[in-house]
Amino acid sequence: MSERKRVPIPIRVEPGADLPAAERTAVLEAVNRHRALEGALLPILHAIQDRLGWIPPRALPLIAYELNLSRAEVHGVVTFYHYFRQHKPGEHVIFLCRAEACQAVGAVSLAAHAKRALGTDFHGTSGDGRYTLEPVYCLGNCASGPSLMIDRELHGRVTPERFDQLIGAGAAGAGAA
């Protein structure tokens, strides 16, 4: 008598089951708060990033499932807008203005200094995980450039020396050259 071949039963993995509990809660709260809105995806993504500081890639299947969208649709929106961060940021995020008025008063050399001091390019994080450096295009502080914002605190007329003071000179320990 021939043995019948066993066919494995596919195990259905619940979307978002592999997300850490705190992230899963943050995602579901954002979804539940905004799902009734027309075009709910963007406000949901903003709410998640405000809460977590980034959009964990493992959250995308859960968002897609909850909104009845395809994963590709959610992924397409997250990757289209550079504002949405797909990597966990450092403890603090520095938004350095790269718009024209700031560029005219030293933002270019400030950006070069910031990259050297932190040992990272834009969108990267210092080696000690303390600072993520992000470009931003106008912080509404054009008359007092160069401007930057650390987390939610705005600073104007920032020189390289002032930058070092703000981050605590050498504290980033990221291999300044």
Among the residue ranges 40-48, 63-71, 119-127, 132-140, the one whose residues contact ligand FES (CB under 6 A): 132-140
Question: 124: which residues sit within 8 A by CB, 6+ positions away?
Answer: 118, 132, 133
- Answer yes or no whether residue 30 interacts with ligand FES by CB under 6 A: no
- Residues 44-83 binding ligand FES (CB under 6 A) are none
Question: 141: which residues sit within 8 A by CB, 6+ positions away?
Answer: 97, 147, 154, 156
Per-residue CA distances from 110 to 74, 124, 166 (Å): 35, 16, 13
Residue type at 19 in one-letter notation:
L
- Answer yes or no whether residue 114 interacts with ligand FES by CB under 6 A: no
- Answer yes or no whether residue 176 interacts with ligand FES by CB under 6 A: no
Question: Whose Cβ is closer to ligand FES: residue 28's or residue 144's?
Answer: 144
- Answer yes or no whether residue 125 interacts with ligand FES by CB under 6 A: no
Q: Which single residue is written with the structure tokens 């966990």?
A: 88
Question: 128: which residues sit within 8 A by CB, 6+ positions away?
Answer: 171, 172, 173, 174
- Answer yes or no whether residue 138 interacts with ligand FES by CB under 6 A: yes
Among the residue ranges 3-11, 79-87, 98-106, 161-169, the one whose residues contact ligand FES (CB under 6 A): 98-106
Q: How far is the CB of 174 from ligand FES (least distance, A)?
A: 25
- Answer yes or no whether residue 94 interacts with ligand FES by CB under 6 A: no
CA atoms within 13 A on the CB side of 85: 22
Question: Whose Cβ is closer to ligand FES: residue 54's or residue 95's?
Answer: 95
- Answer yes or no whether residue 99 interacts with ligand FES by CB under 6 A: yes
Q: Say how many residues make up the chain.
A: 177
- Answer yes or no whether residue 97 interacts with ligand FES by CB under 6 A: yes
Q: Which single residue is written with the structure tokens 């964990």?
A: 56
Question: 65: which residues sit within 8 A by CB, 6+ positions away?
Answer: 15, 16
Q: Would you tell me which residues interact with ligand FES (CB under 6 A)? A: 97, 99, 101-102, 138-142, 145, 147
